[in-house]
Amino acid sequence: MTRKVLVIGLGLIGGSIALALQKAPETKIIGYDMDAQTREHAKTLNIVHDIVADPLAVAAEVDVIIFGTPVNATLDWMEQLKSWPLKNKVIVTDTGSTKKLIMQKASELRELGITFIGGHPMAGSHKSGVLAAKAHLFENAYYMLTPLAGEEIVHMAQLESLLKFTHAKVVSVSASEHDHMTAVVSHFPHVIAASLVHQLGGENGEYPMTRSLAAGGFRDVTRIASSNPILWRDITLQNREELLTQLDGWEKEMTRIKKLLMEGSSQDIENYFAVAKELRDELPISAGAMYTPFDLYVDVPDYPGVISEVTGFLADEAISITNLRIVESREDVFGILVISFQSENDRERAAACIQKRANFETYIS
């Protein structure tokens, strides 16, 4: 019998889940989004098998419901779900970046006999919307589940057997562990990135040229400030407490740096950076990676047509690229042309191809 999955919210994450789950056998993916243009795109780009203008129209026939909505909208939908005519065995899940409030609402659903297992794929990007959705977005990323205490093993197994088509690493944690850990590695860094950009904005009056100098380093640490503001408004509202704890820690760290700047010896200052470098260099790549395009840096000479020459070599060997950009500064990277691939294998083949055909040096950052 065909399993029916309803995805509500078809942006970057909902759209990517819908694409990934289309690979599950005998599974029909039905989508809904409140935005009519997104619904249209989702249908024409085959991100879902079917689209509905009202999720209630199919609520009674679906086996799984997945929310790909901003976390406050998810809470609203969970409230509405209470009065929907659902299948007895329906499994409801979400993809939201916060879990404590969502799992509190899930306990209310449990009292009505509705199974809700929280979910959060730890992969994504600063991009948003259905046009950014990709079937392989979650490959090798952690996918955290936050079941309520005493959740039935059979329900977990059903959800995991579907999520395996995302090729993510599914792990279970409690909602409070989840909200603490994600505050450290995701939510607070977003606040800091936004604050650095605000600080740069403050330069506009007296030193307007500063923004033109914002090169690799500034761009690296502030990329996530380009994320969807509605998403981050909701995440911040739902994880305020953990964020305040992080902020306290950050203020202490800033006081330590201030003292270092005022009184520290050159050795103290070097040690500060050395310890940070060591910790950063030791981060496990697959465990922490949120956004891991397989980038290849190519040190190309500066002559007209060189980029189409390189992409032509790759096309000849049927190696697909997912992105291509030119970095504006050579200060902190080796090469100037950055090509992204879908997999490590594609990147290795591309490096071999470019070295063989053009003898340009290639590097991995």
Ligand X SMILES: O=C(O)C(=O)Cc1ccc(O)cc1
Ligand Y SMILES: NC(=O)C1=CN([C@@H]2O[C@H](COP(=O)(O)OP(=O)(O)OC[C@H]3O[C@@H](n4cnc5c(N)ncnc54)[C@H](O)[C@@H]3O)[C@@H](O)[C@H]2O)C=CC1
The stretch near ligand X (CB under 6 A) out of 37-45, 118-126, 266-274, 321-329 is 118-126
Taking alpha carbons only, the member of 335, 341, 345, 332 closest to residue 311 is 341
Is 246 an interacting residue with respect to ligand X (CB under 6 A)?
A: no
Radius of gyration over alpha carbons of the chain, in Å?
23
- For 51, the enclosing helix (H) or strand (E) is strand 50-51
Residue 148 gets which letter from DSSP? P
The number of residues that bind ligand X (CB under 6 A) is 9
The number of residues that bind ligand Y (CB under 6 A) is 29
Is 31 an interacting residue with respect to ligand Y (CB under 6 A)?
A: no
Closer Cβ to ligand X, 240 or 258, answer by number: 240
Residues 183-202 that bind ligand X (CB under 6 A): 186
Closer Cβ to ligand X, 264 or 293, answer by number: 293
Q: In what order do the strands lie in the sheet with 50-51?
A: 50-51, 27-32, 3-8, 64-67, 91-94, 115-121, 142-146, 169-172
Q: Which residues pair with 211 in a beta bridge?
A: none
The stretch near ligand Y (CB under 6 A) out of 65-73, 78-86, 313-321, 350-358 is 65-73
First-to-last alpha carbon distance for the chain, in angstroms, is 48
Site string for ligand Y, 85-114 (x = CB under 6 A): ----------xxx-----------------
Site string for ligand Y, 231-260 (x = CB under 6 A): x---x-------------------------
From ligand Y, ligand X, none, interface partner of 309 (C-beta below 5 to 8 A by class): none
Site string for ligand X, 205-244 (x = CB under 6 A): -------------------x--------------------
Burial of 134 (0-12, 13-18, 19+ CB in 10 A): middle
Taking alpha carbons only, the member of 239, 214, 359 closest to residue 299 is 359
- Residue 283, token pair as written in the block: 């981060």
Residues 155-194 that bind ligand Y (CB under 6 A): none
Choice from 38, 93, 146, 362 touching ligand Y (CB under 6 A): 38
Are the beta carbons of 324 and 307 closer than 8 angstroms? Answer: yes
> What is the SS3 assignment for 360?
coil
Q: In what order do the strands lie in the sheet with 361-363?
A: 323-326, 337-341, 294-299, 361-363
Choice from 31, 124, 147, 335 touching ligand X (CB under 6 A): 124
Residue 191 Cβ vs ligand X, minimum distance, rounded to whole Å: 12
* Interface contacts to ligand X, rule CB under 6 A: 97, 122, 124-126, 186, 224, 290-291
* Interface contacts to ligand Y, rule CB under 6 A: 8-14, 33-35, 38, 68-71, 73, 95-97, 120-121, 124-125, 128-130, 228, 231, 235
